[in-house]
Every structure is written in structure tokens, then in C-alpha cells.
Amino acid sequence: MKIYTKTGDKGTTALFGGTRVPKHHIRIESYGTVDELNSHIGLLRDQDIDTHYKDILINIQDKLFTVGAVLATDPEKAILKSGKERLNIPKISNEDVELLEHEIDNMNSQLPQMTHFVLPGGHQTVSFCHIARCVCRRAERLATALNELEPFQAEVLTYLNRLSDYLFVLARKLSKDLQADEVKWIPKKNS
């Protein structure tokens, strides 16, 4: 398989289904940001963290490929006139969302109650997690904008929303596991 096709040399790319769109199209921005998020999660997974978190992160990376496939599909080409799906694209399920919720609840039960916002940082691994969280929020914003124009499977937005929550709680749990300082944000009063 050739890596370069030259079909995008004039600034367009093909969606699943064959439709060509500009590379700056909101759909491309959406799934491109999901791809970026997946790379950041790979970086986080490469850190010296508990194997349970690594296993969950591998699962998340797999689900992000599904999210990317949904976002990369031209909705007009995905369904046949008979109503059957033309492209065999996996779906994000409620169980995928529930797994994240279960993991969030489990980690949260081991953490002190949060009384303030926390500043990202304290340890390089924690910082990688916060970067992934921020990229996830951007992916969610772009996907929400796309969904307003061309609706897609609702669970995708739910998954991205829950994933950013998961990454925030994971950052806090990693801070605890790595004995890193969790710096509270306490607004300074103007003098």
C-alpha cells in the first residue's frame, strides 16, 4: 500500500463513502482532533503508570478510532435508500460510556474531595494527562459544531464528554499515585 496518493495535493480529502471535501472542513477538523487526542493518549500510555490504566487507555484508543470513523463518514453515503447501513462502521455503545463512568467513580472514591480547581502539572505524566483532557475538550467542541450541521450517532458526543471527565479524574489519581503536588487554584484578590 502506497503512503502517498497525491489525491490531496490540491487541498481536498475523501471521506468514507468517497465524497471529497476541503481539508479545512469542520468534519476533517473534528476527526483530525480526535486523531491528535489518540496520539496524546498513546503518549500517556507510554508513561510508567499502573497496567490497569494502560489497559483502559488502549480501550479508549480503540474507541477513538471508532469515533474518528463515525466523524469521517459522509452521512449521505452511510445509509442506503432502503435504510440499511452501506458502510460497516462500528458504533460507540452505552457500555463504552458506562466503562468510563465506572472508572471515574472508582478513582474518585480513592481521592480527597475536590474543593478548588487544580492547576495542571505537578509531574510530567500528570501534565500529559491534562494535555489529553484539553485536546479531548477541543475534539468535543468541534464534534458538537459538526453535529449541528450534520447529525451523527449521539453516543459519540456523550463518549467525548465523559472521556474528558475521565482524563481529569485520571490526572488527579495519577497525582496521588505519583505523590505529585496538586496545586489548588485560589484566586488572588486585587489590592
Q: Note the pLDDT of residue 97.
A: 98
Number of domains in the chain: 1
Confidence of residue 103 (pLDDT cuts 50, 70, 90): very high
Q: Note the pLDDT of residue 69.
A: 92
Q: Note the pLDDT of residue 186.
A: 78
Amino acid in the structure at residue 25: H
Confidence of residue 56 (pLDDT cuts 50, 70, 90): very high
Asked whether residue 132 is domain-assigned, the answer is yes
**Mean pLDDT value across residues 17-41:** 85
Q: What span, in angstroms and rounded, lies between the C-alpha atoms of 102 and 153?
A: 22
Query: CB–CB of 166/131 below 8 Å?
Result: no
**Mean pLDDT value across residues 13-38:** 81
CATH number at residue 129: 1.20.1200.10
Domain holding 33, by residue range, is: 12-177
Asked whether residue 186 is domain-assigned, the answer is no
Rounded CA Rg of the chain: 19
Q: Note the pLDDT of residue 25.
A: 77
Confidence of residue 93 (pLDDT cuts 50, 70, 90): very high
Tens of pLDDT, residue by residue over 1-11, are 677 777 666 77
pTM greater than the 0.85 cutoff:
yes
With cell 487544580, the residue in question is 118
Asked whether residue 83 is domain-assigned, the answer is yes
With cell 510508567, the residue in question is 48
Asked whether residue 182 is domain-assigned, the answer is no
Query: CB–CB of 158/97 below 8 Å?
Result: yes
Tens of pLDDT, residue by residue over 111-160, are 988 777 888 888 999 999 999 999 999 999 999 999 999 999 999 999 99
Asked whether residue 190 is domain-assigned, the answer is no
Asked whether residue 61 is domain-assigned, the answer is yes
Q: Which of 8-17, 23-32, 60-69, 76-85 comes out lowest in average pLDDT? A: 76-85
Q: What span, in angstroms and rounded, lies between the C-alpha atoms of 182 and 117?
A: 10
Q: Is the pLDDT of residue 80 over 70?
A: no
Confidence of residue 51 (pLDDT cuts 50, 70, 90): very high
Asked whether residue 98 is domain-assigned, the answer is yes
Asked whether residue 122 is domain-assigned, the answer is yes
**Mean pLDDT value across residues 10-29:** 72
